[in-house]
Chain A
């Protein structure tokens, strides 16, 4: 059974940092791209970042230069390092796995999602 479990969220002051983790199980993690998506309170879904199975990364304009996505295939874990956090980064952050493997995966749909972890940026 595929499982994705996020951790590392919490309350942080503006300008602070957090590192989110997403522990994956039930599939061959190495073969899949992975993404982070967030949903601010009362708002819609927003794509945050993607990392391919080969380690290539992409970021949304609102987080570029502040967030860093990475993966440790030996630990089946996805990370999101969030620096210089702003109030408008407050959201539930989900990691997700694509339907398909390889480079096509980052373009395709995402069939498994973690339940999400809340990040609150406030003074």
Chain B
């Protein structure tokens, strides 16, 4: 169960858009539309931002959007705000009936 690959860090200025990638294989990201994205602030519980590649749960900001192409999923944050500074993790269902997370991306608002 190798972790999905995410960039270690991404940064942007307030108001800009940033994109975080999440690369897996045909046995996970590429094989299923079950990719989720989570926002984690220090010492807080993870918050679901996107599920099933593109769906936003109730309460999640519409500045967050998801997409997928082949074995790579992406999370885009539009209109970057200071409150968006956090760690972000992708997750995917796998062909082994397990879940796998990415290594996490630290988003910095400049």
Question: Which residues does chain B contribute within 8 Å of A107, judged by CB atoms?
Answer: 32, 34, 93
Determine the main DSSP class of B at the interface with A. Answer: strand
A99 touching B57 in the complex, CB below 8 Å, given contacts A44-B89, A47-B91: yes
Question: Which residues does chain B contribute within 8 Å of A101, judged by CB atoms?
Answer: none
* Contact-residue bracket for chain A: 20 to 34
A78 interfacial by beta-carbon distance below 8 Å? no
Q: For the complex, what is the distance from the CA of A110 to the CA of B99, rounded to whole Å?
A: 11
Q: For the complex, what is the distance from the CA of A62 to the CA of B97, rounded to whole Å?
A: 15
Q: How many positions in chain B have a CB within 8 Å of any CB in the partner chain?
A: 29
Q: For the complex, what is the distance from the CA of A37 to the CA of B98, rounded to whole Å?
A: 12
A47 touching B52 in the complex, CB below 8 Å, given contacts A107-B32, A107-B34, A107-B93: no
Known: A47-B99, A109-B51, A109-B52. 17 other contacts (CB 8 A): A35-B99, A37-B46, A44-B102, A45-B104, A47-B91, A47-B101, A59-B98, A94-B45, A99-B48, A106-B97, A106-B99, A107-B32, A108-B93, A109-B91, A110-B48, A113-B45, A116-B45
A-B contact pairs, 23 of them (CB 8 A): A35-B99, A37-B46, A44-B87, A44-B101, A45-B38, A45-B40, A45-B104, A50-B99, A59-B98, A99-B51, A99-B55, A99-B57, A106-B97, A106-B99, A109-B36, A109-B48, A109-B50, A109-B57, A109-B91, A111-B51, A114-B45, A115-B45, A116-B45
